[in-house]
Amino acid sequence: MARYFIELSYHGAAYAGFQVQQNAHTVQAEIEKALATYFRETLGLTGSSRTDAGVHALQNYFQFDSLNEFDVLTCSKAVYHLNAILPQDIVIKSIRRVEEEAHCRFDAVSRSYVYTVYRFKDPFLNDRAYYHPYSIDLRLLNKAATLLMGYTDFESFAKKHNQSFTNNCTIYKSEWKEERPGVFCYNVIGNRFLRGMVRGLVGTMLPVGRGKCTLEQFKYIIESKDPSLANFAVPAHGLTLAAVNYERL
């Protein structure tokens, strides 16, 4: 049995999430359908990082096992043909053989997310960023972002019905940047993230950047371990899974 990793990108607007769901349009369902069409066999997929409905990914992974052993050229041809089958909002970037014990979820050492906020109306950001037409103090946002790196328990930023076995996460990077005038990006890297965590962090930090919430109040929300105090209301389409990292930082 040979194991393969599929690297892919997708625009998440049309999908109910990454992982297959009953009676829902998902990224995994589209990939499985394309694989079955091209390889003429049913290949069960395991995903690396789940994304919610509407969330995008610059890089994510699936793995599958096959009785067939594909060489590099066969994998390259498969990428070309699968992309011809898949809809325009999903692209396979590579298929590569890995060791039999490799696991695209459990072998990942970190994941990177970017959440984009823009202040001025822009039709080219409408489906990839959150329109938030208010003055933002970048200095205050970064003070809040830096505070997060001093904590490991993020229960306050886990949505209800979170099925994680622990709320502990290690944040390696937490930083806001103004990429261009009026466009702010929150970049965060961690070993793992809870369901809805990045959107909860962004939604709770933005009032700090607007001067509506003090750093002490933000710190209290972190330490309260009470998700009802956090703000998860920022839209999914502002969030992108930027990378799944398999090498030590």
Catalytic residue among 52, 65, 107, 137: 52
- For the residues 126-152, what does the mean pLDDT come to? 97
Q: Residue 162 above 70 pLDDT?
A: no
Return the CATH architecture of domain 2-98: 2-Layer Sandwich (3.30)
Alpha-carbon gap, residue 167 to 164, rounded angstroms: 7
- pLDDT at position 138: 98
pLDDT band at 163 (very low <50, low <70, confident <90, very high): low
Q: Do 2-98 and 110-245 have matching folds?
A: yes
Give me the residue spans of the domains in the chain.
2-98, 110-245
SS3 30: helix
pLDDT in tens, 113-123: 999 999 999 99
User: Does the domain made of 110-245 have the CATH classification 3.30.70.660?
Assistant: yes
Catalytic residue status for 122: no
Residue 138 near residue 209 (C-beta atoms within 8 A):
yes
Q: Residue 212 above 80 pLDDT?
A: yes
Model-wide pTM > 0.75: yes
Q: Which residue has the higher pLDDT, 7 or 165?
A: 7
pLDDT in tens, 72-81: 999 999 999 9
- pLDDT at position 249: 42
